[in-house]
Amino acid sequence: MTDGGADSASPPSVELEAIRKRFGPVVALDGVDLAAFPGEVHALVGENGAGKTTLMGVLSGVVRADQGVIRIAGRSVRLAKPRDAWASGIGMVHQHLTLVPELTVLENVALGVRSAAWGLRLPFDQVRSRLEALSHETGLSVDPDVVVERLSVGERQRVEILKVLNRDPRVLVLDEPTSVLAPREVEEFFHVLRGLAYEGRTVLLIAHKIDEILAVADRITVLRGGRVVHSGASHAMDSGSLAHLMIGRDVAARELPQPSEPGAELVRLEGVSARGSRGEVALSDVHLTVRRGEIVGVAGVDGNGQRELALLLAGAESPESGSVQLPDTVGFVPADRMGEALVPDFDLTQNVALALTDMPKYRRGALLRWGRLRSATARLMDRHGVGAPSLDVRAWMLSGGNQQKLVVGRELIRSQALLIAHNPTRGLDVAAGRFVQDELRRLSRSTKEADGEDPPGIVVISSDLDEVLELSDRLFVLRKGRLLTVPEARRTREFVGALMLAYDGDSGE
């Protein structure tokens, strides 16, 4: 349970008890307790993958919890579908907006109404007067007759909230609402949220920008790895302690990687710029070298050029400008294991073959040497401890950890020189994640192999700060497409975290 908030005399408007949810082998929520009270703005924070979105899914009836109890205003409820959540008085404002751009504000709001007259006629007059009243109450003013596509993103979000408020929910859930707003709009928006809470509603806010959370929330619940690690009043926290809670364990208690002597240079990026899939500038003027025997860490929140840098280093894409020097073959562990690294419906041998069809050793002219591929797969599974009943099971039947071991092993067959790993432990449980990390470290520290080559160079691109702090010999932060060097002297969680999340002074860009 949480410690008592200001209004703990009244029953919590939302109370979650021991909510558990797993997706296959991934435990997304591991016994989450949460209590939010009428009249409070309650922020739910955590890093990517901490379970925030799954928890909101549970509350809005999109995701069904495996275990646990949900109580609304003291009454136990079952939220099996979105309609149940509505009926219980939970209103969800989605991260992606759900308005019809061609219709007016009034029409959009009316669409959300379950009307009388068998849904044949939308109750426009009724909605119009309700909208006027709501605008008055909350200060969310929008012209009801303007077509939505003419509105700014901030105005559209206001409409989205009005649409939800029109159904008079007791609990308003907002999923990262400020991500689409300009700084000035954010302030106005917070003012509105405070007003809604003041009226006695509960505002449940999912967020990850630390300054904003501290500015608006009465109480803060921090999720990490599917568990609640802290829940308490916001005035007892500052940005440092909140970042610490979000990011996790203390690094000083852990063994730092032994310094190694880097070998020959493998990678050289000079002044590299690249665009993302939507044409936006994803990398700008990146300089980077990687040598054999070292682990280069790139920390940062996904979406800041991580994917583009990974594909570039893997040799799967070329830059828009700048020069790139890479070894002939590069091993690549992509972030999307089931989508990009493996073919779920293929068996293990086929999944190993997937990366090796260009290698002469596994071909005889136009034919694949399945016998060799099969024994290579068997050896790989043995060496990397891939737990699977046989080579003939499909990849999707393995646990996440075993899938990742298979991928890492396969990529080492492809290249003994350079390995690029993007979020290599995401979605794995702690033990499996640790195993993969140890494997990467062991590789970079291994002495000369039988073929006389130095150990490979490894690049770990990760949004898991602990991971890169622990593994890297040299550390960078990739933020907004720029690669920032972390000086050896300032390799602390606080400094790197601040650089990643940009909650200090320089976030204004």
Partner 1 sequence: MGIRVNRVLRFGGLWVALAALLITGVVAVGALVAGGYDPGVALSALVRGAAGSPEQLFSVTLVRSVPLILTGLAVALAFRAGVWNIGAEGQLYAGAIAGVWVGLAAGDLPGWIVVPLVLLVSSTAGAVWALIPTLMRLRLGVYEVITTILMNFVAIQLVGYMVSGPLQESRGVFPQTDAISASARLPLLIPGTRLHIGFAVALLLGAALWVVLRSTVFGFRLQVVGQSPAAARITGRIDGARVIFVTFLASGGLAGLAGAMEVSGRTFALYEGLSPGWGYTAIAVALLAGLHPMGVVGVGILFGALEGGAGAMQREAGIPEAWVSGIEALVILAVLAADQGRKWFARTRSERARPAESSVG
Binding site for partner 1 (CB under 8 A): 24-25, 311, 314-316, 332, 334, 336, 339-347, 349-350, 353-355, 357-358, 363, 366-368, 370-371, 373-374, 387, 392, 396-402, 405, 428-429, 431-432, 435
Q: Kindly state the smallest distance separating residue 372's Cβ from partner 1, in Å.
A: 8
Give me 93's structure tokens.
Answer: 């404002």
Q: What does the alpha-carbon distance between residue 413 and residue 329 come to, in Å, rounded to a whole number? A: 10
Cβ-based nearer residue to partner 1, 127 or 395: 395
Least separation in angstroms between CB 369 and partner 1: 8
Of 213 and 380, which has the nearer Cβ to partner 1? Answer: 380
Structure tokens at 394: 């499909």
Choose between 198 and 370: whose C-beta lies nearer to partner 1.
370
Question: Least distance from C-beta 414 to partner 1, angstroms?
Answer: 9
| Residue 217 C-beta: closest distance to partner 1, Å | 36
Smallest distance, Å, CB 366 to partner 1?
Answer: 5
| Shorter beta-carbon distance to partner 1: residue 11 or 344 | 344
CB closer to partner 1, 255 vs 358 = 358
8 A C-beta contact, residue 425 and residue 460: no
d(CA 202, CA 415): 54
Nearest residue (CB) to partner 1, 25 versus 263: 25
Q: Which of 255, 204, 245 is nearest to 222 (CA)?
A: 245
Residue 480 in 3-state DSSP? coil
| Min separation Cβ 402 and partner 1, Å | 5
Q: Which amino acid is at 71?
A: R
* Min separation Cβ 421 and partner 1, Å: 13
CA distances from 385 to 341, 346, 373, 495 (A): 18, 20, 18, 36
Of 253 and 431, CB closest to partner 1: 431
Nearer to partner 1, 172 or 335 (CB): 335
Beta strands 457-462 and 227-233 are unpaired
Least distance in angstroms from the C-beta of 334 to partner 1:
6
> Do the bridges between strand 281-291 and strand 265-275 make them parallel or antiparallel, or are there none, so unpaired?
antiparallel
Residue owning tokens 């596509």: 149
Residues in the chain: 509
Task: Sort residue 215 into left (φ over 0), alpha (ψ -120 to 50) or beta.
Answer: alpha
Residue 129's alpha-carbon distances to 192, 195, 217, 336, 394, in angstroms, are 20, 20, 31, 48, 59
Least distance (Å) between residue 183 CB and partner 1? 36
Amino acid at 178: T
Contacts of 454 (CB under 8 A, 6+ apart): 263, 264, 292, 293, 448
| Nearer to partner 1 (CB atom), residue 11 or residue 25 | 25
Residue with Cβ nearer partner 1 (132 or 392): 392
- Rounded to 10°, the helix 124-138/183-198 angle is 100
Q: Judged by CB, which is closer to partner 1: 273, or 399?
A: 399
What distance in Å separates the CA atoms of residue 415 and residue 163, rounded to the nearest whole number? Answer: 54
Provide the minimum distance between the beta carbon of 279 and partner 1 in the complex, in angstroms, as a whole number: 16
Give residues with Cβ within 8 angstroms of 2, minimum separation 6: 33, 34, 35, 219, 221, 231, 232
| C-alpha to C-alpha distances, 277 to 67, 222, 462, nearest whole angstrom | 39, 33, 20
Comparing CB distances to partner 1, the nearer of 283 and 406 is 406
CB of 341: closest distance to partner 1 in angstroms? 6
CA distances from 413 to 63, 178, 292, 354, 410 (A): 39, 45, 16, 12, 5
**Do 260 and 473 contact (CB within 8 A), yes or no?**
yes
Distance in Å, CB of 302 to partner 1, minimum: 16
Question: Residue 476: CB partners within 8 Å, gap ≥ 6?
Answer: 288, 296, 297, 298, 299, 483, 484, 485, 486
Residue nearer to partner 1 on the CB measure, 23 or 198 = 23
Q: Work out how close the CB of 347 gets to partner 1 at its nearest, in angstroms, rounded to a whole number.
A: 6
